[in-house]
Every structure is written in C-alpha cells, then in structure tokens.
Chains A and B, each alone.
Chain A
Amino acid sequence: MTPSSGSSGTMTSMQRTLTSLGHQEPDRVPLLLLPVLQGARELGLSIEDYFAKPEQVAEGQLRLREKIGHDCLYTFYYAAIETEAWGGTAIFREDGPPNAGAPVIRRFEDIKHLTPPRVEDSPSLLKVLETTRRLAEQARGEVPIIGVVMSPFSLPVIQLGFEPYLVLMHEHPELFEHLMRLNEEFCVAWANAQVAAGANAICYFDPISSSTIVPRERFLATGFEIARRTLARFEAPAAMHFASGRIAPIVDDLPATGAALLGVSWQDDLSALKGACRGKVSLLGNLNGIAMRHWTPEQAEAEVKAAIAAAGPGGGFLLGDNHGEIPWQVPDAVLMAIAEAVERWGRYPLDWCRVE
C-alpha cells in the first residue's frame, strides 16, 4: 500500500491530523475510524487466530485502510490484553471482542504485595509492539499510528471486577491510592514502549473518569489527578478517551489533564462540547457505533454531516466513532459510506455549514 492511499486530498493523513490537532483547518476533516476486529474478517481468520500473530494484525490494519481510506492505523487488540500481562486471561468469542477472565486481584489485601508486570516479560504486549513496528515501517511517518493504554483509574475494573473496585474506591482510600501508583508505573512504561516501537499518539482509555461512571467531585479527586500525572510522562501526545461515557459536566476540567484530544460520546451535545473546547483541546467522535449496525448509506451521510457541522469548523475535530472501536456487527458498507460522506462533506472550507 502507499501511505496516502484512500485519501484524495492534498495532505497526507499525518499532515491532515496534525493540522487539525493544531486547531487549524486542514484539506478535509480527518477520519479517525477505528476498525479493529474487522481485520480478522479481511484475512479470513477467526478473531482469536487473528490476534495470535502480530503480523496478521498489522496486515489487517493495512488492508482496512486500503479499503476504507481512513486517516490512521490502530494497534489496539483488546482491553483485556493488559490483564493478560498482569497474569489474567482473555475469553474469546466468535462474534465480538474478547473479555477479561477472572479478576487477577482477588482480595484487597493482595494489592499491598502486587508488583506491576514488565512489558518485556509479557508475550501479549510484545505482540502489540511487533504490530506497531511493522505498521511504522509501512506508514513512513505519513499515517498516524495510534497506540492504546487503559488508564490506571479504569484498568481496575478488569483487575478486580467492577463491584469490588467501586467498594475499593469508596471505602479503602489507601489501598486505592497504592493501586493507582502501581498502575501508573505500568501505564507509563506500556505507553512509552509503544511510542518507542513507532506509535505517534497514545489513546488513553478512561471511561471510569467519565460522568457516566463517577461524579465530577470524585473525578477531580481521582481520575483527573491520575491523568495529569500519567499523561505528563508519555513521550507522545495523548487522546483521553471515555469509551462513549459522557463528559459534559467535566469538559472544562479536561484541558488541564494535558490531553491533546478527547474521545467523546454520542450521548453528549457535540456542539456544546466544541464550544467549551475550541482552541484548547481537540475532539474525536462521536458516531454511535452500536446504532451503525443498521445505518443506511443515507443515514451514515446524515450522521457524518451532523457531526461535522457541530464540530468541524476551525479544525480541532477528528471524525470517528464514539467508543474507540467499531463493533464486529457493523457492515463494511457502512464504514465505506462514512468515508464517502467525509470526502463529500468534510472538505475545508466548510462553506455549507458556516453559521450565517
């Protein structure tokens, strides 16, 4: 493939993305579509077999970009890959992403004796690094490669289970704080290993910080500080992604985390978020991936237009889904229709949606 394939604009995907992240208008709205499992379908493999070999995941990403023409390559495997590194398992299924198996932390007391895994000791994480290296070789700096980490504040849901984690967070502040410090060390090492392998940006998944999961006061005392400390140590720009959780109540607090980009939900009002973020932090979103499953091409076009109209003018906006991963059940035709709609309606200047 050629790095700029699929985009008929005057800029490479990298230039387009960086321009928008700099709050300027590029040639068109960057399309940060994030297909993941679809790579298995491209290669005719089961999801489990696909993720078994890093070269397959790299090949899947390249083929998907060739087909759809979006503006990035994505090295995400699945969230539970991090708990694999901590000694846990992932349970695969044929029609969707794998989920974390039994919690690796079974009693709160265990937190005291926990040590974070080393990236180089985890065969799972090493696969992701190999995929990253292969993609970086192909992209030659012209297509952004996006790596992924779970935030130290969100990872415990799969380290402990959600209920125990809520109890830990509310009732055992010292152990909670200790776990955060361990997770921060792991998260920073994991992010920077991906950067060293060629990732240009890190997507920091932190839905527990979203207002869907914790109220603002708790976020400010926890997820906010954790993000600030953690992102400051990343050797690449970070997108803080809420996996479709809402952020309206905390949007004014988020630029201070140091994130360059926020992954935002279809459940929030995109133009209101844009108003709060203009010139400060860029937005990524906010197409509803679950509803996408039965979109017609016309609907896809209408949704793309609406998102661009709400957040496109002035740059600082990258179009994508609102969760950071397109569900397996979404037909490829919908993804192609989205890409076509961006070609058609995403060209700057966006004269058609200027406010008179």
Chain B
Amino acid sequence: MLPRLMAGSGIWPGPARGPLDEAIQTMSSPSEELLQALLALNRVQAGELLMAARSQGSPLDVIETLVRPALEEIGRLWEEGDCALSQIYMSGRICEELVEELLGEARDIDFATPGEAGAATRAPRLAIAVLEDYHLLGKQIVRTVLRAAGHAVKDYGRQDVDGLVECVREDGIEILLVSTLMLPAALRVRVLVDRLREVSPHTRVVVGGAPYRFDEELWREVGADAVGSSAGEVLDILARLTGESA
C-alpha cells in the first residue's frame, strides 16, 4: 500500500532542510514510526511515541519534529493515492487529542494567548470557513492539522460571502482559509476575493477542496493567493505566506 515507504526510500521528497530533517529521513525515525502508527490508527502507540519525544524536548519540538512531518506526509501520501481520507481524518483526530494532552491544556481559540506551541512569535491572525457549501469535513480536517501543529485558528463554520467578509473585517484576519467541495461554491470564491480586496486588502486567501484538485488553475481563476491539495499542505503554505522559510 505504501510502496515508497516500504522501499525504504525515505519519507521526504526533495532536499533535506537541516540535521533534524536528515534524521527524519531514515526508516526508523520517530516521525516515520508515528506515521505508521497513525496510518494503522494505533492511538496507543502514537501516544507512546509522543510521550517518549516529550521526555527529550519541549512540546514545540515534539510538534515540529514529530507531529507536523507525520501529518504533512500523510497529506502527501493521499495526494499520490497511497493512503485514504479515512486515515487522514482519524489520524488527525488522534493527533489533535494527543497534542491537547501534550500541551496540558485545552487551548481555546484566542489570538491573545496562542498557546505554548502556537508559533506565538509571529502567529498571523488565522481563520477558516466553508463558503456557501454544506460540506464541512475538509474544513474540519484542515483545522485539526492546524491545531495539532499548534496553530490558533478561528473557525467561522459555514458562511456566505457577506457574512464571511464581515467576520474577516471585524477580526482583522490576515490569512483566511476557505474550503469548498461543490464547484459552484468554489467559483464563488471569486466574489469573496473581490469583496475582500475592497474591505480588507491585506487579507490573504488560501483555498482548498475537491474542485481545486480537479482543476489546477481554478485557484488562480478565483483570485486566491494559494491553494492546498491536501490538508497537510496548509502548514507549508502558512510558512510561505508569513515569510518563514518552509
């Protein structure tokens, strides 16, 4: 089922980024073990791996070196057809729970206190919504990945264009994540972006959801700043948009 992994070819395509990344490249790295535990939906083993890592480093380290790479890799596997959405969803739930435990607090969504691991130094004001669509799963999964990676994110639920523009303006949102499943909803992002340009010109819009996976140009057509073809990509995109080297 996971030919690339089974072949021991390492889980990171592309150049390594540092000593930690190099470490993660080996087959038996903790991140690889966490990945396997998550794909097997083995919550107990995943918890043990996180606890072991916690004894060696801060929660932030655990998230950055263990949880984040595993979630990103699961996203990549899905894009390539090598794992399933049910695994993304269930493993995201496991990670979110474990990270909550790890941080020892149920972190509320509050920009003033983004949490110990919340990349607090330059955390952008982040929000997520479903636009004129009744399908919330994509949003939930992206939110889970964000929270499991220690980001604070406002969740606006399902919104129409007017409601969403108002929320963004009121909260001074810097990065707005929009999920849609139906094509007409994906196309409505054009209207949303045009309205935001008038009311909140600094807000960046990141889109995702099935229609964008089936039409690679669609995100540009609707005027978005970025697109993610799996939930795992959102972390990289945020890093890029906030000027951090990914």
Residues of A within 8 A of B (CB): 91, 93, 95-97, 99-101, 161-163, 166, 169-170, 211-216, 218, 244, 246, 248-249, 266-268, 288-291, 293-294, 327-329
Contact = CB atoms under 8 A, between A and B. Distances in A.
A244 B214 contact: yes
B12 interface: no
Nearest to A293: B215
Q: Chain B contact residues: over half helix, strand or loop, or mixed?
A: helix
A44 B237 CA distance: 44
B184 A329 contact: yes
Contacts of B41: 170
Given A93-B184, A266-B214, A218 B135 contact: no
Interface in B169-183: 182-183
B81 A267 contact: yes
B183 A96 contact: yes
Nearest to B83: A215
A213 B90 CA distance: 12
Given A169-B86, A290-B214, A293-B215, A249 B184 contact: no
Given A166-B90, A218-B84, 10 more contacts: A96-B184, A96-B185, A97-B182, A99-B135, A169-B86, A211-B81, A213-B86, A215-B87, A290-B214, A328-B184
A99 B134 contact: yes
B138 to A, nearest CB: 9
Contacts, number: 76
A100 B139 CA distance: 18
Interface string B218-231: 10000000000000
A249 B81 contact: yes
Contacts of A100: 134
Given A170-B41, A214-B84, A291 B89 contact: no
B140 interface: yes
B119 interface: no
Interface in B183-203: 183-185, 187
Nearest to B39: A215
20 contacts: A99-B133, A162-B135, A162-B136, A163-B89, A166-B90, A169-B86, A170-B41, A212-B78, A214-B86, A215-B86, A216-B1, A244-B214, A267-B81, A268-B81, A288-B215, A290-B215, A290-B218, A291-B215, A293-B215, A329-B184
A213 B84 contact: yes
